[in-house]
């Protein structure tokens, strides 16, 4: 009886082996692929004190200054509001005065310029059916 030849598989190149799989040699001398155990997680590193960045220091120093400036602006607007309202009322009154005076001046100018209506007389003459017309205007 003939002994059948063992089945041989094509070998894999090292770059074809997927991650988590390794080529191992068994105690009988046979080399095969085997899954490996994932590495044990590293012990957590104790946190160390980090220096505060310069931008954080600048922001921390500017925050109260900006807040105080906004508060002072609000306080100033609170005291200035009655004056601003009075000023807007005065400006609207000035606009109304200018508009009324311009309208009145325009009315008076039209009344003074056209006291009497102008009378215009025309004399037009033409000869023939398609003759040229001539005319004179007398004021």
pLDDT of residue 117: 66
Q: Which of 137, 94, 105, 139 is nearest to 119 (CA)?
A: 139
Question: Could you tell me the pTM of the whole model?
Answer: 0.32
Mean pLDDT for all residues in the chain: 83
Cβ atoms 24, 31 nearer than 8 A: yes
List beta partners, residue 31.
25
Cβ atoms 32, 24 nearer than 8 A: yes
pLDDT of residue 8: 67
pLDDT of residue 2: 58
Q: Find where tokens 């059948």 sit.
A: 4
| pLDDT digit string, tens, across residues 21-72 | 888 888 888 888 888 877 777 788 888 888 889 999 999 999 999 999 999 9
Q: Which of 35, 32, 15 is nearest to 24 (CA)?
A: 32
Confidence category of residue 10, pLDDT binned at 50, 70, 90? low
SS3 10: coil
What does the block give as tokens for 131?
């003759």
Q: What integer is the mean pLDDT of 80-94?
A: 92
Residue 1 pLDDT more than 60?
no
The residues near 33 (Cβ < 8 Å, ≥ 6 apart) are 12, 17, 21, 22, 23, 24
The residues near 17 (Cβ < 8 Å, ≥ 6 apart) are 23, 33
Confidence category of residue 107, pLDDT binned at 50, 70, 90? confident
């Amino acid at each position: 009886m003939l002994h059948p030849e063992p089945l041989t598989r094509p070998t894999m190149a090292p770059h074809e082996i997927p991650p988590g799989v390794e080529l191992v040699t068994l105690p009988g001398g046979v080399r095969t692929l085997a899954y490996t155990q994932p590495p044990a997680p590293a012990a957590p590193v104790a946190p160390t004190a980090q220096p505060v960045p310069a931008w954080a220091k600048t922001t921390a120093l500017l925050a109260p200054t900006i807040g105080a400036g906004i508060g002072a602006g609000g306080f100033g607007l609170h005291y200035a509001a009655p004056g601003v309202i009075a000023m807007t009322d005065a400006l609207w009154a000035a606009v109304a005065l200018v508009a009324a005076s311009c309208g009145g001046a325009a009315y008076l100018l039209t009344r003074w310029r056209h006291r009497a209506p102008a009378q215009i007389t025309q004399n037009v003459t033409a000869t023939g059916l398609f003759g040229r017309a001539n005319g004179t205007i007398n004021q």
